[in-house]
Structure 1
Amino acid sequence: MSAAEAARRTLRYGQHPDQHVEVTSPVGSPRGTVVLIHGGYWRRPFTAELMQPLVPMFTADGWVVANVEYRRGSEGWAATAADLTASLAAARTAGEASRLAIIGHSVGGQLALLGSSEGDAVVALAPVTDLVRGSRERIGDGAVEEFFGESTDSIVAASPVAHVPPGGEVLVVHGRDDARVPIEHTRDYVEAARSAGARVDFTEVPQLSHLHAIVPAASHWPYVRTWLEKRRG
């Protein structure tokens, strides 16, 4: 545990082993809570450990960090959607301050955008925004079909582009050379969200691979941290 971290604890929001939030608190009085939501195209091998390297950076900035795990894989979309709501409610209780920022990567970005009304600010990193298009283009080696099967209604319901405008203030970051989630999907999502009246900031990073988006040393993080700092009160 680093000097910036005062305590780490687990909040459970259900009986399933994946229904938990790892909460790490900074030294001193926090001014808000950052929720981290991992990606992995809804596949079970990918866990909240993907986001763990970001935790020390945010506790050093004075945030309580709530790193979310959720049901995925064979559990299906209904379970994942329910866990999104429940985990964000649990994260609200994790910090002394009321401000809640949600940061999601890839499918975690999808979840962050869908849960945006529960937060005060959202950062979506290389988010999956259009599952209908993603199914047609077989993004993630056919991940949409693998997870949703032939449930067209669920695919539409799980698409952030079908739920514009998002709630709160939103920052989207995407690398132009991302080979896992096409940046064209994000560009179209941002245009749709803005047309619907949303306040969405969008940063295209010339060289940022999909997984490098969650590397703390990557070039976009100083901007993201400043953007969040202005919104935590």
Structure 2
Amino acid sequence: MENRPQIHPHGGFDAAIDAAQLDTDYDARATVSQGAFDDIIARYLSCSQAAASEHMRRANVVYDPCGEGFDLLGPADGNAPAVIFIHGGYWRALSRRHSHFPAPMLARHGIATITPDYTLAPRATLAEINRQMRAMLAHVWQEAPALGLDRQRIHVVGSSAGGHPAAALAAGGWQAEFDLPDRPLAGVMPISGLFDLAPIRRAPPQSWLNLSPEDEAALSPLRHLPRDPAPMFVARAQTEAPGFIRQSDAFAQAWGDSGARTRRLCIPGRNHFDVILDLCDDNTALSRALLDLIAV
């Protein structure tokens, strides 16, 4: 079928596509002009600063000996559902300071927002970034009562490269090592994410990720579907680089085939970078889908 994962035995996802085409197919930055890109990143920061000034509850909660931390924003009712928002930046850019902007919308619905940092590549390997995000989730889940959160209603949203650890947190096989139940998440929504690393290992991001064949196999969520999958909404913008479209379609297909509640969304009129700013507005299709996933 056209939308099924294109996993090939001697090369992985997208193996039939030559390297030059992969450079284009995974170049999200080329889908918008420099001016549009600069404006969108500035909006991330300005909207996040406004959100933090009104909704910050706890800043820089260190979740792991690595020293990275997260911010907690939103309601303090003692048992709030939470959304962990993992930023993008192709694993090498941006931070939690750019990621607070969904908090006001979520707070209006009684939902807390958690924005974690992770050590950026190339200073950290992708394996270490994934480990940090697992440690972050374990900290949030285990400390939920002290943080005023309901550990049974923790959701993860990830943007672009942040969609990769979001999906990886929902994948199977790692939770016991972090003293977590097999399904610690109530729902997951990767937005414009990446789910199989085979083409990434053949494309420009390899220059800062330095992925091995073992990394490709171990760190690709598409290859580690869990036995008890959480509900999964896979979203993307109308304007995306082709590789991101193929990956979102394949991951949504595979997750749905596993038996989980799965929804696929294409947000019209948005690009790879501005689509997540729709989470500032209660009435966008993206926000409505996230609220439906949380079902508060």
Instruction: Settle same-fold status: TM greater than 0.5.
Output: yes
Q: TM-score, normalised by structure 1?
A: 0.85
1:122 paired residue among 188, 200, 205: 188
Once the 2 structures are TM-superposed, how far is the Cα of residue 105 of structure 1 from its aligned partner?
Answer: 0.8
Q: How far is the alpha carbon of 1:27 from its aligned partner?
A: 5.0
In structure 1, what residue type is equivalent to 2:276? Answer: I
Query: What is the identity, as a one-letter code, of the residue corresponding to 1:127?
Result: G
2:274 is the alignment partner of 1:221: no
Measured on the aligned residues, the alpha-carbon RMSD in Å equals 2.4
Which of 152, 164, 170 aligns to 2:225? It is: 164
- SS of the aligned residue for 1:91 comes to helix
**SS of residue matched to 1:75:** coil
2:24 equivalent in structure 1: none
Q: 1:30 to 1:62 in 2, by over 3 A?
A: farther
Q: Structure 1 segments of 4 or more deviating over 6 A?
A: 1-4
Q: Does 1:42 align with 2:107?
A: no
Once residues 231 and 86 of structure 2 are traced to their aligned partners in structure 1, the CA distance between those partners, rounded to angstroms, is 17
Distance 1:24 1:222, change over 3 A: closer
Q: Is the radius of gyration larger for structure 1 or structure 2? A: 2
Residue of 163, 167, 181 corresponding to 1:109: 163
Task: List runs of 5+ in structure 1 lacking aligned partners.
Answer: none
Matching residue of 2:128: 79
Per the alignment, residue 35 of structure 2 pairs with: none
* Residue of structure 1 equivalent to 2:150: 97
* 1:9-48 superposed matches below 5 A: 9-17=59-67, 19-43=68-92, 45-48=93-96
Show the 5 A alignment for 1:146-161.
Answer: 146-161=207-222
Decide whether the 8 Å contact of 2:56 with 2:71 is kept in 1. Answer: no
> TM-score of the superposition, structure 2-length normalised?
0.68
Higher relative contact order (CA 8 A, sep 6+): 2
Query: Is the CA contact (8 Å cut-off) linking 1:34 and 1:101 kept in structure 2?
Result: yes
Q: 1:118 and 1:88 mapped to 2: Cα distance?
A: 9
Q: 1:68 to 1:160 in 2, by over 3 A?
A: same
Deviates more, 1:174-183 or 1:54-63: 174-183
* Contact 2:76 2:148 (C-alpha < 8 Å) held by counterparts: no
Q: Could you tell me which amino acid in structure 2 is paired with residue 14 of structure 1?
A: D
Separation of aligned partners in 1, 2:274 and 2:291:
19
Deviation, 1:6, is 7.0
Higher alpha-carbon deviation: 115-124 or 164-173: 164-173
Letter matched to residue 138 of structure 2? A
Q: How many angstroms apart in 1 are the aligned matches of 2:284 and 2:200?
A: 27
Corresponding letter in the other structure for 2:86: I
Structure 1 contact 148–155 (Cα < 8 Å) conserved: no
- Three-state SS of the structure 1 residue aligned to 2:239 is coil
1:205 aligns with 2:254: no
2:99 is matched by which residue type in structure 1?
M
Task: Determine helix, strand or coil for the equivalent of 1:129.
Answer: coil
